[in-house]
Structure 1
Amino acid sequence: MKVIIFTKKSVFKSLAVVFIFLFSVFYAATGKYELLNVFLNTQRELPIYCVDTSDKKVAITFDAAWGDEYTDQILDILEKNGVKATFFLVGGWVDKYPEKVKNIFDKGHEIGNHSTTHPHFSQLSPYKMKEEIFKTSEKIRRITGKETNLFRPPFGDYNSLVVKTVKEAGHYCIQWDVDSIDWKDPGEEVIYNRVVSRVTNGSIVLFHNYAKQTPLVLDRIIKELKKKGFQFVTISELIYKENFYIDHTGRQKLIENNKAGM
């Protein structure tokens, strides 16, 4: 007769497997896969596309990588409407237009990092990614006197390693859930309809400071969203800084809220 010997290690492993199985069955039944992913750390790394909130808040953002032709017009429209936005700046743009960087900051807008040379981050090593991030954050600090901890990957290009590396560099990785596609110059009505129809609570909207149709339609967009009851905030005012997870859609959620609904 074969004798089976149970060791403490084998018993512990068996109990762990049973616990994980029961835990997964429970969350499958309740639909709370997100917290299970947090617990097991199996979910792929995602940037923040938008924020789960009951408040009617929206953050509008502008990427600045090339020219500055329309920057002053955009700033004037934002100021006229009492709106603060977040500008993601490329290091080369910071070098070329330092007075614009200072002006954006002095007008109360938030400044984020958009890399140094605008490369595809998924094609870089972690070392090169951090070099791109740290160089531009330092350039921004020298002009504004303030550290930035927001980063947006150029082209919206990322993978799990990119998001993980951005976190290791001490920055929140920011994407968007509403793309104005203003860089394509699709027409004012296309930009207007895309934005006002897609913004929801916690949305992050993508614009570009060098898109010629943006200043022509921005005022209308802001006024319409205000009519709908939306409040404009910066990215730092919108996102959660701790006790959060990001679900499979890129929506940032508070872990405490999820637990409260159990």
Structure 2
Amino acid sequence: MKFIFSARIPPWYVMFTLFTLTTIFFTNSLADLGYGIPTRPGLTPIFQGNRETPKVAFACNVFWGEDIMPDMLNILADNQVKATFFIGGSWARRHPESLKLIADAGHELGNHSFTHPHPNRLSKEQNQAEIIRTEKLIEEVTGIKTRLYAPPYGEYNHLVLEAAQELNYLTIMWTADTIDWRRPSPDVIIKRIEGKLQNGAIILMHPTEPTLKALPVLIRLIKARGYTIETVSDIIK
């Protein structure tokens, strides 16, 4: 592509204009894709807790796995560990007894939307409707009002973040991902987390069979490294 510069338009001005337009396009594209371009200070999700204290948290997203849940809760109880379970509303509607088991065991409850949509494809109002519908159902079943939100697929843009913030929610992401929804071997899950242990780490998981088998080993490993395992709310204080 050739540019013809006149005496009235210096070359540096043309290059500056092209750079500015490219930056605007790139920034807007990132926001549309959900890579967290905030519209104002403070409008960002939380990827990690307090970096000054040796604490980590399990964040378990639940939209299936009710058959795994009783054994997972038993393992956590045997090891005196409290986790944060981000509950899918439609799952809770189908399995209120499983939701109540989690709450009665003293674990923290978070919000994971109602229908598991792609949040970036929704308006702010649609995102808020997903959160509110789930919040009300969880409260009806357990008496607990959720205040942490884990957007499905880990998607977020400025509308998703604003939707949660306006409802007084903190948007929670993760530091280390088990990627257990792909059903890898327990050893793979352990190795994925082992290399990312650090103060304030939020460890993402789901109720799957491989996770169930890896969980006791993972808990022992974390404690042997000198970390305590607490809820997400505890480690982000």
Q: Give me the TM-score of the superposition, normalised by structure 2.
A: 0.81
Q: Distance in 2 between matches of 1:155 and 1:237?
A: 24
Amino acid at match of 2:206: H
1:108 and 1:46 mapped to 2: Cα distance?
A: 28
Quote the residue 1:222 is aligned against. Answer: 219
Residues 50 and 235 in structure 2, CA contact (< 8 A), matched pair in contact too: no
Residue 42 of structure 1: CA displacement? Answer: 5.7
Q: Output the CA distance in 1 between the equivalents of 2:99 and 2:124.
A: 27
Find the aligned partners of 2:181 and 2:166 in 1 and give their Cα distance.
31
Which amino acid letter does the alignment assign opposite residue 209 of structure 2?
K
Q: 1:234 and 2:231 equivalent?
A: yes
1:45 and 1:157 mapped to 2: Cα distance? Answer: 14
Aligned pairs for 1:46-195 (under 5 A) are 46-195=44-193
Cα distance in 2 for residues equivalent to 1:187 and 1:46: 33
Asked whether the equivalents of residues 177 and 205 of structure 1 are also in contact (C-alpha less than 8 Å), the reply is yes
Q: Compute the displacement of 1:79 (Å).
A: 0.4
Percent of aligned positions that are identical: 38
2 CA distance for matches of 1:117 and 1:80?
Answer: 32
**Partner of 1:251 in structure 2?**
none
Give SS of 1:50's match.
coil
CA distance in 2, matches of 1:42, 1:98: 38
Is residue 45–residue 159 contact of structure 1 (8 Å, CA) maintained in 2?
A: no
Alpha-carbon spacing, 1:205–1:170, altered in 2? closer, same or farther (3 Å)? same
CA distance in 1, matches of 2:50, 2:145: 26
Residue identity opposite 1:204 in structure 2: I
Matched residue type, 2:233: S
Unaligned runs of 5+ in 2: 1-38
Q: Which position in structure 2 is the counterpart of 1:247? A: none
**Does structure 1 retain, via aligned residues, the 8 Å contact 2:123–2:159?**
no
Deviation at 1:170, TM superposition (A): 1.2
| Distance change >3 Å, CA 155–CA 142, structure 1 → 2 | same
Which letter maps to 1:54?
Answer: E
Q: Find runs of 4+ consecutive structure 1 residues off by over 3 angstroms.
A: 41-45
Q: Tell me: CA distance 1:187–1:138, structure 2 relative to 1, closer, same or farther (3 Å).
A: same
Q: Distance in 1 between matches of 2:64 and 2:77?
A: 23
CA-atom RMSD in angstroms: 1.4
CA apart distance, 1:53: 2.5
Q: 1:239 to 1:182 in 2, by over 3 A?
A: same
**Could you tell me how far 1:188 is from its partner in structure 2?**
1.3
1: CA distance between counterparts of 2:53 and 2:171? 22
> Normalization by structure 1: what TM-score?
0.73
> C-alpha offsets along residues 57-107 of structure 1, whole Å, 9 cap, x if unaligned?
001011111231211111011001000000001101110110111110111
**What residue identity is the alignment partner of 1:100?**
S
CA shift digits 1:220-255 (9 cap, x unpaired): 000110011111111111113xxxxxxxxxxxxxxx
- Contact 1:49–1:204 (Cα < 8 Å) also in 2: yes
Q: Does 1:204 align with 2:202?
A: yes
**Number of aligned residue pairs:** 199
